[in-house]
């Protein structure tokens, strides 16, 4: 028994001396708890809205003030014409628009009824539903506080869902799954490439070859670019044929953006492979470090606007976030490059950064 106790104490010493084990035991649960606690929420706050108010009377101002003071919405833009609604939604910032009819207060006073149109961007159907419900509830609460007269007042909300009138969940999941699958497949395949050479002992053959490190890196990435691009085409085809996912914009632009995203993911996989010495470690980093952020911090399932400021900063460092914006913009809204050029430039920057860092790490470790 004494020897057994000594053996157990020795094992404790081994665990406490290994910082990697301590990081897994205590660091990972804390990080995941904070991550899931802040990200996994159904609450909506600070959703950007646009308001078109041709009446500009005291009733519409009170309703708008009540909506904006609720904490759920912030005013992004006051519209001057009804024709501005579609461009505002296509820019991607506004999630909901409030459209009052002309002579709102007069009609409410004379007939006891007035109409307001609530338009939501339903490319994310869950968020759109919640925003519409919140706005409708605030308007209803205003009516309750105003119905002290003999004639009950009625404000009739007319709801319109843009880009996804049937509120199909597949419109949200196909772009997100494309971003996640292409990231995992591309990064995982390439992260194993150089580590496989190290484990098999064939790295020396590459080192004595006349090729430059940049040529070796690009040569490793090149075949996987076309294989992953073929996967992207299959996903798009299956999404369209079996799930009715529309492609309203340019198919050529969509494929070019997918090609760019795949190149970025492959460059990230090469970077992982240059800083690891075993396929097991490379696979763990590819699956754990890439999968959770892609699901949680890319806006795939949970809106970025709902998260704390620190988490929003992390979200902006996630390349899948920009690819999902591009895919939704092209497929659901029919937009061209003029609406997604910022996200495209950001992905080009990520690709160049990961590829340059991979070549630098390759030089440092292998010379």
pLDDT at residue 307, rounded to an integer: 76
pLDDT in tens, 340-361: 999 999 999 999 998 888 777 7
CA-based nearest residue to 176, from 303, 79, 365: 303
- pLDDT bin (cut points 50, 70, 90) of residue 7 is low
- pLDDT bin (cut points 50, 70, 90) of residue 38 is low
Residue 339 · residue 91 · CB < 8 Å: yes
Task: List all residues 6 or more positions away from 283 whose beta carbon is below 8 Å from its beta carbon.
Answer: 188, 191, 192
* CATH 3.40.1710.10 domain span(s) along the chain: 47-162
pLDDT at residue 132, rounded to an integer: 92
Where does the chain have alpha helices with state H?
2-17, 19-22, 28-39, 58-68, 85-90, 104-111, 125-146, 170-200, 203-207, 213-243, 251-274, 279-284, 290-296, 309-315, 319-331, 337-366
pLDDT at residue 112, rounded to an integer: 81
Q: Is 351 helix (H, G, I), strand (E, B) or coil?
A: helix
pLDDT in tens, 190-242: 777 777 777 776 666 666 667 676 677 677 777 888 888 888 899 888 888 88
- Assess whether pLDDT exceeds 50 at residue 367: no
- Assess whether pLDDT exceeds 60 at residue 151: no
d(CA 54, CA 108): 15
**Crossing angle between the packed helical segments 251-274 and 213-243, to the nearest 10 degrees:** 130
d(CA 92, CA 326): 10
Tokens of 35: 């991550």
- pTM listed for this prediction: 0.83
Question: Given the structure tokens 């759920």, which residue do they identify?
Answer: 72
47-162: CATH architecture: 3-Layer(aba) Sandwich (3.40)
- Assess whether pLDDT exceeds 50 at residue 18: yes
């Amino acid at each position: 028994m004494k020897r057994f106790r000594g053996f157990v104490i020795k094992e404790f010493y081994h665990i406490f001396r290994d910082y990697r084990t301590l990081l897994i035991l205590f660091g990972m649960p804390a990080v995941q708890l904070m991550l899931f606690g802040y990200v996994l929420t159904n609450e909506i706050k600070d959703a950007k809205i646009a308001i078109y108010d041709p009446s500009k009377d005291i009733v519409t101002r009170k309703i708008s003030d009540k909506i904006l003071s609720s904490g759920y919405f912030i005013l992004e833009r006051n519209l001057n014409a009804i024709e501005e609604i579609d461009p505002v939604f296509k820019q991607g910032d506004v999630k909901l628009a409030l459209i009052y009819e002309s002579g709102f207060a007069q009609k409410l006073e004379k007939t006891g009824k007035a109409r307001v149109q609530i338009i939501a961007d339903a490319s994310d159907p869950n968020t759109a539903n919640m925003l519409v419900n919140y706005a409708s509830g605030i308007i209803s609460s205003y009516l309750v506080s105003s119905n002290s007269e003999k004639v009950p007042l009625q404000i009739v909300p007319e709801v319109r869902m843009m880009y996804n009138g049937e509120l199909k969940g597949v419109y949200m999941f196909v772009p997100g799954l494309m971003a996640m699958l292409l990231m995992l497949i591309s990064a995982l395949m390439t992260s194993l490439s150089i580590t496989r050479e190290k484990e098999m002992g064939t790295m020396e053959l590459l080192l004595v070859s006349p090729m430059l490190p940049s040529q070796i890196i690009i040569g490793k990435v090149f075949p996987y670019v076309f294989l992953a691009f073929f996967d992207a085409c299959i996903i798009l085809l299956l999404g369209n044929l079996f799930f009715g996912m529309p492609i309203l914009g340019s198919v050529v632009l969509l494929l070019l953006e997918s090609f760019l995203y795949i190149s970025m993911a492959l460059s990230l996989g090469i970077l992982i492979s240059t800083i690891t010495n075993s396929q097991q470690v490379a696979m763990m980093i590819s699956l754990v470090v890439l999968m959770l952020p892609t699901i949680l911090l890319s806006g795939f399932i949970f809106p970025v606007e709902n998260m704390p400021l620190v988490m929003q900063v992390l979200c902006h460092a996630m390349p899948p976030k920009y690819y999902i914006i591009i895919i939704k913009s092209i497929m659901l809204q029919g937009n061209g490059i003029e609406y997604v050029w910022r996200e495209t430039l950001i992905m080009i920057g990520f690709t160049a950064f990961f590829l340059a860092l991979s070549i630098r790490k390759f030089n440092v470790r292998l010379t």
